[in-house]
Amino acid sequence: MDKLNLILLVPELLAVAAGIGVMLWDLWLPREKKIALSTASMVAAVVLFLSTFIPAVAEGGHAMGGTFLVDGMALLMKRAFAVTALFVFLISREYVEDLERGQGEFYTLCLLALSGMFLCASVNDFMSLFVALEVVTVSFFVLVAFKRRSTKSVEAGLKLLVIGSVSAALLLYGIAFVYGATGTVFFDELRADVVAPDFIVSTELVIGLFLIFLGLGFKTSAVPMHVWVPDVYEGAPTPVTAFMSVGSKLAGFVLMLRVLEVFGRSAAIAAELTPFLALIGALTLFYGNLGAIPQTNIKRLMGYSSIGQCGYILLGIAAAWTMGMSGALFYMVSYVFTNMLVFGVIVYVARATKSHDLDDYSGLARSNPMLCAAMTIGLLSLAGVPPLMGFVGKLLLLGSAFGSPELHWLVYVGLINVVIAMYYYLCVIKRMWIHDARSPAKPVAPMRVKIALGISVLILLAGGFAPQILEGLTAPAAAELGLPSRPR
């Protein structure tokens, strides 16, 4: 609790500086040159990605008197967040160019949200956890409602605001209980407390943790707090939906992993948390995957799919041992590329057809085979089809749950849901390849997006054929977390 160690905060500080810089530059740019802000934001995202490789940062450690922690998971997730932001900036360029107002603010809010995500990856006490989470949440309140003239967008923003406030209240309530039970908000002290041999798991601690996971479940779209997802995904501007479906969600997950890492060291607490998380995970899986089937709007479909994907990660979190953590991290990284691939296509298809109906995708194979192929690979990876990265992630997560006998039922639930998910993803794929086009619109993607999509496809394939490369990153990060290396 002594050193400021600001060097560790360089990525966060740079992100904030980039946000403020874009905001200020926006003031001096004439209307027709605003597009430079897009380029600047892309450069900023790349710089932020690289900044996590600064030796002093990559080395890790504590900062800000122990309230800031850089470990393997934090670094990995920060890189994932930076890549997400880069993707968002790549696919949002045309969208923002069409905005009649607020171009600079869009990028400012995205970059500040990114700084919040960075902070989420590194928080080491409950106070910072809450504030970091709120930075992300509040940014998205605004970004979601950014199309002020669109009723749907504003409605989505309002829904997010209301449910976000409720979940923030739950989270704070939980934090208050945990503080009451332990007398501290600092994770370092809690880590030492929970492994003390005579630590008694009090009711308020367990209830507090339940509330905390519910509050975080809002960001990750876990079941009791999922109700906003389809409407908000549909109403929000598509690049924002993309950012939210990946960045905001993973920010919630990284916090879940962090809280679990702190409290899951104690077998007694883990024994209380596992059934709770497993139940939530199972409900989330069924809700997301069954809800996706009747959807006719691609963004709503992706909303339900995003709920379903959340369920798989919860499987690994419920298992609460190193493999589950590693699987969760692997899945989260693969989710970045998978979901961004799909949203990259959605943005440009919607640009051509001006709608988000599933019908728009009929005949995409003929109108733009490249986009169609990219979308197919993305959807297959989401479904978890073998040679792709998503398959490996699901395998790790299901495997981690299979490790503990009392979670076997959850594995079966997961497997059933893989089949359900396969159905609706394949429906979209069938529509793209077999059906005839309904509209004459021909989606085109600019070169930079094509390259990004191509790289994503390559990464998805590489992650499927050689998962050990990514696992080589996630496994040590997970091992560092201090959870048991065997199932309980």
Partner 1 sequence: MDPWTFWLGGSLALGGGLLTVTRKNAVASVLWLIVAFLGMSTLFLGMDAGFIGVLQILVYAGAIMILFLFVIMLLNLTPSGLLRMDRPRGTTLGLASAAAFIALIVAIVTGGQQWTGGQGGGSEAAILERTGEASMLEGSVLDIADQLFNAHLLPFEAASVLLLVAIVGAVALTKRKL
**184 near partner 1, rule: CB under 8 A:** yes
Which of the 8 DSSP states describes residue 63? E
Nearer to partner 1, 218 or 337 (CB): 218
Q: Which residues 162-181 are close enough to bind partner 1 by CB under 8 A? A: 177, 181
3-state secondary structure of 363: coil
**Site for partner 1 (CB under 8 A): which residue of 195, 451, 455, 466?**
195
DSSP 191-213: HHHHTSTT----HHHHHHHHHHH
Nearer to partner 1, 41 or 368 (CB): 41
Secondary structure string (H, E, C) spanning 380-409:
HHHHCCCCCHHHHHHHHHHHHHHHCHHHHH
Question: Shortest approach of partner 1 to residue 143 CB, angstroms?
Answer: 8
Do 291 and 424 touch, CB atoms closer than 8 A?
A: no
Alpha carbon 268 to its chain's center: 29
**25 near partner 1, rule: CB under 8 A:** no
* 208-229 core/surface letters (b: 16 or more CB in 10 A; e: else): bbbbbbbbbbbbbbbbebbebb
**197 near partner 1, rule: CB under 8 A:** yes
Question: Shortest approach of partner 1 to residue 251 CB, angstroms?
Answer: 13
Report d(CA 141, CA 144) in Å as an integer: 6
**Site for partner 1 (CB under 8 A): which residue of 41, 108, 245, 295?**
108
**Site for partner 1 (CB under 8 A): which residue of 198, 354, 405, 447?**
198
**148 near partner 1, rule: CB under 8 A:** yes
Residue span 67-106 as binding mask against partner 1, x where in contact by CB under 8 A, dash where not: xx--------------------------------xx-xxx
Side-chain half-sphere exposure of 144, counting CA atoms within 13 A: 28
Count each helix (H run) and each strand (E run) in the chain, helices first: 21, 2
Single out the segment in contact with partner 1 by CB under 8 A; choices: 54-62, 186-194, 309-317, 416-424.
Answer: 186-194
Residues that bind partner 1 (CB under 8 A): 1, 4, 16, 19-20, 23, 64-65, 67-68, 101-102, 104-106, 108-109, 112-113, 115-116, 119, 123, 125, 127-128, 130-132, 134-135, 138-139, 141-142, 145-146, 148, 157, 177, 181-184, 186, 189, 192-204, 207
